[in-house]
């Protein structure tokens, strides 16, 4: 927990806010960060206990934000399946720090204009 002036902020909330994630996208990202191998949506659905459509929506959001990597595996009898994994933890930390640095810079400008 981080204490800022008169408010306590959970690190989870800070991460969600800095990366612009809803609860489901946050949970999917945290799940993928703990995995050693890329995962399919159907696997994630079972392990996280969420509907596939919820996972798919979260995956789209995470992918657009550059927080996960998508790979494709071609199937022997035709067709393909996608696998997802998170980017490196250090890259996610850097994205969060960049957002915070931008916020501090903007807050500093606003304070200086008082």
Q: What is the average pLDDT score of the chain? A: 92
Supply 33's token pair: 């960060």
Band (pLDDT 50/70/90 cuts) for residue 56 is: very high
**Cα 2 from Cα 99, distance rounded (Å):** 16
Q: Write out the two tokens for 12.
A: 């989870």
pLDDT at 2: 66
Sign of CA dihedral 81, 88, 50, 64: negative
More confident of the two residues 3 and 59: 59
CATH class name, domain 23-87? mainly alpha
Domain ranges across the chain:
23-87
């Amino acid at each position: 927990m981080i204490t800022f002036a008169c408010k306590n902020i959970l690190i989870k909330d800070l991460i969600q806010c800095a990366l612009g994630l809803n609860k489901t996208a946050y949970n999917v990202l945290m799940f993928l960060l703990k995995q050693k191998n890329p995962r399919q949506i159907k696997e994630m659905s079972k392990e996280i206990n969420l509907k596939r459509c919820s996972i798919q929506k979260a995956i789209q959001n995470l992918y657009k934000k550059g927080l996960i990597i998508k790979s494709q595996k071609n199937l022997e009898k035709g067709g393909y399946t996608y696998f997802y994994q998170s980017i490196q933890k250090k890259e996610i930390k850097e994205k969060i720090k960049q957002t915070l640095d931008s916020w501090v810079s903007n807050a500093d400008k606003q304070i200086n204009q008082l």
